[in-house]
Amino acid sequence: MYSVSVKNIVKNYGSVKAVDAVSFDVNKGELFGLIGPDGAGKTSVFRILTTLLLADSGTATVEGFDVVKDYRAIRNKVGYMPGRFSLYQDLTVEENLNFFATVFGTTLQENYVLIKDIYEQIKPFSSRRAGKLSGGMKQKLALCCALIHKPDVLFLDEPTTGVDVVSRKEFWDMLARLKQQQITIVVSTPYMDEANLCDRIALIQAGRIMSIDQPGHIVQSFPKQLFAAKADNIYKLLQDLRSDTDIESCYTFGEYLHFTLHAADSSEQGVAEIAGKYHPEGFEVKKVTPNIEDCFIRLMQAQQNKGTLKMTADE
Ligand SMILES: Nc1ncnc2c1ncn2[C@@H]1O[C@H](COP(=O)(O)OP(=O)(O)OP(=O)(O)O)[C@@H](O)[C@H]1O
């Protein structure tokens, strides 16, 4: 039995198609990531799975329970950390924990082992109001509150958004330790670099899942040689390469442009010849290995172009 199973879920808000026939399964004890930008539909999926929102159509189960019929059972089985800070700002750290424990008919002591590692880090601030904590500390407290009743499945909606890099790293280390306790974790993030920390990911855009696999497999399925180039006038280079018929796809990527060619075999020299037509000053080009973000962009372009750009070579 899957820990989470989603089949053809659709959710519209008026004319906005927020979730468009989404299906995926999560194994027990898996760390599964929903990766996508703002507005991709991640929160709607989480709210449907935590029984806070009804889907228009489709079915979903959590630990074998139906999200509509068995909503009461599910609420005891899951821990949910919503995207926006959900704690009581005027209550202290300890009061927040005790409040959530009471709601679930448990105590801080009963499941202390589960939250010990995380709680120890916020314990020095136990009498501080939640509203006065730093972003990283709030996030740790929210995670403790979501874990207080020892859930089988943990839903974390963008837990690291707006949190500093060090706290983000610490948070993912905490998730790795929770995973060892056999808790299934479904986490959403707009940060593509966090995808690699998941066992499997679903790349979601405009309510549709574009790919589900292990992050390494998704990267390996990138079908073309990827190049990175820059020039003194990068904006002009972008326009020139985009207009060139030899270039399949070109987009900005940090201080570089990332691009692929239509030709199956391509070299830096071939690229330099194409770019040379536009006489770019300070031109540099190198081969690069694609990462999840490159795959996401390619899949998104394929979706928008309705298939003129393929993700895999044999499509
Ligand atoms: N209650 C609502 N009424 C109308 N539109 C909504 C509502 N909730 C979400 N939407 C729209 O549905 C789409 C998906 O939103 P959702 O919050 O599920 O995505 P998300 O990936 O979690 O993004 P975000 O991080 O911005 O919340 C967006 O276009 C959003 O504006």
272-311 pLDDT, tens digit each? 999 999 999 999 999 999 999 999 999 999 888 765 566 6
14 shares a domain with 44:
yes
Residue 199 domain-assigned?
Answer: yes
Ligand 1: residue of 13, 47, 186 to mutate (most ligand atoms within 8 A of CB) is 13
Q: What does the pLDDT look like over 245-278, one tens digit per residue? A: 999 999 999 999 999 999 887 888 999 999 999 9
Q: How far is the CA of 41 from the centre of ligand 1 (A)?
A: 6
In this predicted structure, the answer to whether residue 6 has a pLDDT above a threshold of 80 is yes
Global ipTM: 0.95
In a domain, 265, yes or no: yes
Residue 140 CA to residue 32 CA, distance in Å, equals: 20
Domain boundary among 213, 234, 253: 213
Rounded percentage of the chain residues whose pLDDT exceeds 90: 73
Could you tell me if 131 and 260 lie in one domain? no
Residues 82 and 227 in one domain: no
**Residue 313 within a domain:** no
C-alpha separations of 86 from 92, 100, 112, 141, 305 in Å: 14, 11, 21, 10, 39
Question: Do residues 114 and 235 both lie within one domain?
Answer: no
Q: Which residues contact 5 (CB under 8 A, 6 or more apart)?
A: 25, 26, 60, 61
In a domain, 157, yes or no: yes
Instruction: For ligand 1, atom 31, name the residue with the nearest CA.
Output: 39
Q: Is 162 in the pocket of ligand 1 (CB under 6 A)?
A: no
In-domain check, residue 314: no
Final residue in a domain of this structure, among 213, 231, 257: 213
Whether 298 and 165 share a structural domain = no
Estimate the crossing angle of helix 165-179 against helix 112-122, to 10 degrees: 170
CA 186 to chain centre: 9
Same domain, 142 and 272: no
Residues 23-52: what's their mean pLDDT? Answer: 96
Domain of residue 116: give its range.
4-213
Residues 198 and 224 in one domain: no
Q: Which residue is it, tokens 């509203």?
A: 131
Q: Are 31 and 198 in contact (CB under 8 A)?
A: yes
Cα 59 to ligand 1 centroid, rounded to whole Å: 20
Which one of 213, 230, 249 terminates a domain? 213
Ligand 1 close to Cβ of residue 189 (< 6 A): no
Distance, in Å, from the CA atom of 222 to the CA atom of 265, rounded to the nearest integer, reads 14
Say how many Å lie between the CA of residue 269 and the centre of ligand 1. 45
Residue 115: what residue type? Answer: I
At 15, which CATH number? 3.40.50.300
**274 and 199, same structural domain?**
no
Domain CATH for 270: 3.30.70
Same domain, 261 and 138: no
31 found inside a domain: yes
118 part of a folded domain: yes
315 inside domain: no
Q: How far is the CA of 296 from the centre of ligand 1 (A)?
A: 20
Residues 200, 95 within the same domain: yes
Chain segment 83-132, per-residue pLDDT in tens: 776 789 999 999 999 999 998 889 988 888 888 888 898 999 999 999 99
Domain count along the chain: 2
Q: What is the largest CA-CA distance in the chain?
A: 71
Q: Is the CB of 135 under 6 A from ligand 1?
A: no
